[in-house]
Amino acid sequence: QVQLVESGGGLVQPGESLTLSCEVSGISLNYYSIGWVRQAPGKEREGVACLSHGPSNSYYIDSVKDRFSIFRDSAKNTVYLQMNDLNEDDTAVYYCAADGGLYGSICLRDLTYDWWGQGTQVTVSS
């Protein structure tokens, strides 16, 4: 059984940082693409960052490219999303998701991931 469990969300002020964690069980991250997807109130889900398996390239949407970093710890089978200089537009529920396909930059645009976590709330407010 594949499980993804996010943690690390919370309430922060603009300009602050958070690191989200996604602990994965049932599959090895070395062979799957992992994405962080967010959904703000009243908006559609949006792929924020992803890590494609194979060459392990990372991809980001333009609005977070210089502020967020996705990386994994293979020993812990955990993926992280380091988020710096947060602003109110980053407020959303953040989900991690995994898939055996979605190679390359497709992992950012195609959100048909096989497995999803339950989500963690990130609120940026002064």
State residue 64's pLDDT score.
97
Share of the chain above pLDDT 90, in %: 85
Could you list the beta-strand ranges (E) of the chain.
Answer: 3-7, 10-12, 18-25, 33-39, 46-51, 58-60, 68-73, 78-83, 92-99, 115-116, 120-124
Beta strand pairing status for 10-12 and 120-124? Answer: parallel
SS3 30: helix
Average pLDDT, whole number, for the chain? 94
pLDDT tens-digit readout, 54-104:
666 999 999 999 999 999 999 999 999 999 999 999 999 999 999 988 888
State residue 56's pLDDT score.
67
